[in-house]
A and B are shown apart, each in its own frame.
Chain A
């Protein structure tokens, strides 16, 4: 058992853990927003970044988008596409935090519900940015290694997911196969 083979065995399991962690984060982010959709709209508005014409749509649809993405991640369906969407969302949120920080606004990010202005000194933008960075790292990992255990992607394309394959050359070919599935491109 070489180190490379060990990695080949561990990677799909690690991808599974990352996949489910991302799904969990999304669900935790979506539930309080669904509980208070007008509050979600106000939280988006508090960033003072998007034009008013799209603020209600973004605030209302964001939690549903988060849930949909969580469902894809739980099922392991279109994993690479899901990780791209996740990364795009993280880029958006990061821009939001940098924006309010640069502008000197004192707001609650509303990431996990809540939102709006808060008293000065209670914001923690560096922590928020670190959180975004960590979440982005999860997404980047899944983007590079989308193959995971117990996934619909694997069920759909079993040859590319033949984990018991001892031949590592074949395995790297399989990895390419995953990259070429239509939903990934």
Chain B
């Protein structure tokens, strides 16, 4: 009887050993497959992140619109031309961060554009416009925010005397959110209508400044911009609860008081 029990015990031990061996084997297979999967996954991540890498504004090799500065601002001088007759540090510097798709930015423009123009033309302030792109997700995949900012940068670079008027015209023709936005061809037509040459207007579609837009947007975010419009006065964010700049005249009065 004892030997029968022993045999049974042996058989059980053998069966258990086989089961354990199988378990170990499948564990090894799973771990190996997981490691391979992770490596492939990591490679894909690395590739995507790397290929979307944008040279920073201060990097050698970054393509910048002429006249723009290291913050991604496009200064409009007292005569209305980018980079010409821009007052220096002795006057108040105003930075306006806007996305051409953003309805509140349009409202900001309608409320304050004339006041800002007046102060700028009088040489009392310098104004740096930051056409940035944070709303690409609401243009049904056409990246209108990026395309519009690229268009503005193209005009600033190639036809600096028309940049400001062109930007205003984009707001006057602002598309609704969750539409495809204006096509590059429509923006070219708008550019021509404010006096830009047809050649320059056509080059909007080349997208030469799309990377600059991405870099300028990232720089803006690093500088504290986390929504549009953002207004900075002497490079400090103007708090809307302190200066309610959606009330007509409030921003102007505040800037004049400085």
Contacts and interface: CB of A to CB of B under 8 A. Distances in A.
A77 B136 contact: no
Interface string A108-152: 000001101110100000000000000000000000000000001
A contact residues, range? 20 to 34
B226 A107 contact: yes
A41 interface: yes
A45 B26 CA distance: 43
Interface in A33-71: 35-39, 41-42, 45-46, 52, 60-61, 64, 68
B contact residues, range? 20 to 34
A113 B137 contact: yes
A156 to B, nearest CB: 5
Contacts of B227: 116-118
Nearest to B28: A156
Contacts of B52: 37-38
Interface string B1-28: 0000000000000000001000100110
B137 A32 contact: yes
A64 B19 CA distance: 37
A9 interface: no
A45 B49 contact: no
Nearest to A47: B226
Interface in A73-102: 77-78
A39 B225 CA distance: 12
Contacts of B217: 38, 42
Nearest to B135: A39
Contact of A156 (B30, B45, B221, B222): B30
A155 interface: yes
B5 to A, nearest CB: 22
Contact of B34 (A39, A77, A107): A77
Contact of A42 (B30, B49, B134): B134
A64 B226 contact: no
Contacts of A155: 26
A182 interface: yes
A182 B27 contact: yes
Interface string B34-58: 1000100100010011001010000
Contacts of B221: 41-42, 45-46
A101 to B, nearest CB: 16
Nearest to A36: B137
A64 B50 CA distance: 14
A81 B222 CA distance: 35
Contact of B27 (A37, A41, A156): A156
Given A45-B226, A68-B41, A156-B30, A39 B137 contact: yes
Contacts of A38: 52, 54, 214, 217-218
A11 to B, nearest CB: 22
A159 interface: yes
A39 B30 contact: no
A35 B137 contact: yes
A45 B222 CA distance: 8
A116 B134 contact: yes
Contacts of A120: 241
Nearest to A56: B218
B226 A156 contact: no
Contact of A117 (B27, B41, B45, B226): B226
A176 interface: no
8 contacts: A39-B134, A45-B222, A46-B221, A46-B226, A68-B38, A117-B226, A159-B19, A181-B27
Interface of A: 32, 35-39, 41-42, 45-46, 52, 60-61, 64, 68, 77-78, 107, 113-114, 116-118, 120, 152, 155-159, 181-183
